[in-house]
């Protein structure tokens, strides 16, 4: 598979950075704990769907102690619009108990401790480390996996291989926000079925062999599917977006920590 040169990788990120100077997560959260819960709930669900459920949830339970006090049955009822809500509710209660027992109710800022928590895998840990603690991690979701392979940026057969390839080629100055630049570009421009190549700022650097020639939402997905590996990941939101979404900025519903995902 074609691989982008190091010089062009740097140019690629410079252009994404210029397009979205302050990329951020689209999950709503209040503190590291609510971020962790939101990310756990977001597995195989959309950020919009998670935000709808967490808005009332975080009003009553924004700490591990409050979540445990809320109880699994009421938590389940609050998040029942989210896929796999039963398992997720059990995980959130158990991880909240573990945070109280082992970490004084705080979210630990290291991978090993995070990955010990129920429902927390490498991707979730990477998101929390990046967004809550400003670490230069890259959580490879379906959008990043597709984009890295399609463009030749960091080809890899699975998310872990792509993560390692990205960490090896992304210039240090872009590592902190690389995760969000790629997710937002994949979500709104380099979409799975109909990538918007004519309006893509990195089109001249991208090595995708089946670039679209018009931003036509009705274009058949045949070519895009043929060369784009697709791991089983959470569903993506496709279609038209507002200019605010396209810029990767949303009005937060509540306070965020600085340095958002
Ligand atoms: S040119 Fe097309 S395939 Fe390449 S990154 Fe842009 S939208 Fe994606």
Domain shared by 107 and 159, yes or no: no
Domain shared by 169 and 74, yes or no: no
Query: For 30-40, what is each residue's pLDDT tens digit?
Result: 999 999 999 99
Report the distance separating Cα 177 and Cα 19, nearest Å. Answer: 13
The CATH code of the domain that includes 191 is 1.10.1670.10
Q: Return the residue whose CA atom lies nearest to atom 2 of ligand 1.
A: 197
> Is 252 a member of any domain?
no
* The domain boundary residue, chosen from 78, 107, 131: 131
Question: What pLDDT shows up at residue 1?
Answer: 73
123 assigned to active site: yes
47 assigned to active site: no
Instruction: Quickly count: other Cβ atoms within 10 Å of residue 80's Cβ.
Output: 11
Query: For 134-150, what is each residue's pLDDT tens digit?
Result: 999 999 999 999 999 99
> Is 104 a member of any domain?
yes
Catalytic residue among 28, 141, 196, 215: 141
Domains held by the chain: number: 2
Full-model pTM: 0.81
3-state secondary structure the chain: CCCCCHHHHHHHHHHHHHHCCCCCCCCCCCCHHHHHHHHHHCCCCCHHHHHHHHHHHHHHCCCHHHHHHHCHHHHHHHCCCCCCHHHHHHHHHHHHHHHHHHHCCCCCCCHHHHHCCCCCCHHHHHHHHHHCCCCCCCCCCHHHHHHHHHHCCCCCCCHHHHHHHHHHHCCHHHHHHHHHHHHHHHHHCCCCCCCCHHHCCCCCCCCCCCCCCCCCCCCCCHHHHHHCCCCCCCCCCCCCCCHHHHCCCCCCCCCCCCCCC
> Is 182 a member of any domain?
yes
Residue 148 Cβ contacting ligand 1 at under 6 Å: no
Residue 200 Cβ contacting ligand 1 at under 6 Å: yes
Catalytic residue among 28, 47, 123, 196: 123
Domain shared by 85 and 48, yes or no: yes
Domain shared by 195 and 237, yes or no: yes
Domain shared by 112 and 142, yes or no: no
Question: What pLDDT shows up at residue 218?
Answer: 55
**Domain range holding 154?**
6-22+138-242
Domain shared by 107 and 233, yes or no: no
> Is 183 a member of any domain?
yes
Domain shared by 162 and 189, yes or no: yes
Domain shared by 76 and 145, yes or no: no
Domain shared by 102 and 150, yes or no: no
Q: What percent of the chain has pLDDT over 70?
A: 82
């Amino acid at each position: 598979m074609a691989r982008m040169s190091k010089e062009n990788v740097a140019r690629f990120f410079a252009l994404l950075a210029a397009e979205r100077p302050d990329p951020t997560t689209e999950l709503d959260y209040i503190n590291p704990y609510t971020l962790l819960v939101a990310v756990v709930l977001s597995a195989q669900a959309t950020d919009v769907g998670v935000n709808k459920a967490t808005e009332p949830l975080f009003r009553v339970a924004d700490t591990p102690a409050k979540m445990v006090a809320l109880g699994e049955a009421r938590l389940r009822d609050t998040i029942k619009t989210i896929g796999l809500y039963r398992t997720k509710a059990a995980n959130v209660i158990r991880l909240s108990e573990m945070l109280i027992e082992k970490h004084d109710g705080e979210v630990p800022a290291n991978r090993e401790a995070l990955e010990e928590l129920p429902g927390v895998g490498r991707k979730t840990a990477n998101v929390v480390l990046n967004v809550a603690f400003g670490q230069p991690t890259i959580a490879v979701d379906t959008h990043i996996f597709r984009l890295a392979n399609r463009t030749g940026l960091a080809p890899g057969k699975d998310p872990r291989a792509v993560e390692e390839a990205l960490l090896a080629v992304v210039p240090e100055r872009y590592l902190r926000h690389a995760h969000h630049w790629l997710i937002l570009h994949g979500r709104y421009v380099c979409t799975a079925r109909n990538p918007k190549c004519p309006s893509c700022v990195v089109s001249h650097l991208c090595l995708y062999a089946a670039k679209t020639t018009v931003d036509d939402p009705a274009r058949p997905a045949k070519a895009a599917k043929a060369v784009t590996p697709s791991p089983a990941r959470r569903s993506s939101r496709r279609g038209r977006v507002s200019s605010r979404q396209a810029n990767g900025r949303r009005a937060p519903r509540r306070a965020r920590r600085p340095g958002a995902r």
